[in-house]
Amino acid sequence: MRNKLIAGNWKMHGSCVANEAWVRALQAEPTFESVELAVLVPAPYLAQMQQLLGGSTCVWGGQDVSDQERGAFTGEVAASMLREFGCRYTVVGHSERRQRHGETDVQVAAKAQQALAQDLIPILCLGESLEQREAGKTAQVMRHQLGVLLDILGETGMARSVLAYEPLWAIGTGRSASPAQVQEVHAWLRQQCAEASLGLAKNIQILYGGSVKSANAVELMALPDVDGALVGGASLVAQEFLAIARAAAKASQRTE
């Protein structure tokens, strides 16, 4: 059975004082069975997370990684650097990176390769815009995004990765896809993986990321092909993040 993963993406938020308070609130909560917690923080705070979360049940990671191993790439962060700070995960290909920085599907796959080479788990983001959805192009867009990943990473690389469906029209808008829409896309993604490998389809975690919060988490986490969430704004509030984790834990108990 696939465990749930609740990963909080802080984006460009945080401070040393606020981060410590968040971790203290998290540590006061009992651990969750069948649910892994992860927090994805701005690079300047990785050392702090390593210090505060070391030995805890919550892991940490980066929000991006370079597609290069090392070199004259000002401002970029190598996978080896994330690994040195104890990261387990890194986000790859988030919609904000694709839109603001023009990241291509091939570049996203190259970043994932760098992460995998350092034994990091890439959280591979993919999704469609509102314009593409309304034009009926959701499957076409995501077939290309997923196809590039499958071609470049192969079954072995994909098996060591996590997928995250994030409809662009539900990122930071407060608008979430309906549970029926989420399940439809997640089931479709799993079927696409099955065409490459039945084992991959059975085992790969597919997260939902699109304005996930405590108010909709119970319904979303209960969907059969949703294996957790990539949480944005709601992850900045420890109690909101924990409420989502509790929803995931309850969903896991019902399927055991």
Phi/psi at 90 (5° precision): -150, 140
CA 202 vs. chain centroid, Å, equals 18
Q: Which of 36, 94, 103, 240 is catalytic?
A: 94
CA angle centred on 204, ends 239 and 201, rounded to 5°:
140
Q: Which of 36, 103, 166, 240 is catalytic?
A: 166
Catalytic, 13? Answer no
Catalytic, 94? Answer yes
Q: 167: which 2 tokens?
A: 């409809």
CA atoms within 13 A on the CB side of 36: 16
CB 46 within 8 Å of CB 77: no
CB 112 within 8 Å of CB 149: yes
CA 137 vs. chain centroid, Å, equals 23
Active centre residues (catalytic): 94, 166
